[in-house]
Amino acid sequence: MDNNKLKVVILNAKNKDEKAMQKILDKYSNMIKSYSFVNGEIKEELRQDLTEITIKTIKKFRI
Reading the chain (63 residues) residue by residue, the pLDDT tens digits are: 788 898 999 999 999 999 999 999 999 999 999 999 999 999 999 999 999 999 999 999 888
Beta bridge partners of 38: 41
Asked whether residue 46 is assigned to any structural domain, the reply reads yes
Asked whether residue 19 is assigned to any structural domain, the reply reads yes
Count structural domains, the chain.
1
48 to 1, 12, 32: CA distances (angstroms): 24, 22, 9
Asked whether residue 47 is assigned to any structural domain, the reply reads yes
Beta bridge partners of 37: 42
Q: Given this model, what pLDDT does residue 1 score?
A: 77
63 to 13, 36, 58: CA distances (angstroms): 12, 28, 10
Asked whether residue 8 is assigned to any structural domain, the reply reads no
Count the neighbouring beta carbons within 10 Å of the beta carbon of residue 14.
16
Asked whether residue 54 is assigned to any structural domain, the reply reads yes
Asked whether residue 3 is assigned to any structural domain, the reply reads no
Asked whether residue 23 is assigned to any structural domain, the reply reads yes
Asked whether residue 41 is assigned to any structural domain, the reply reads yes
Q: Which domain holds residue 56?
A: 14-60
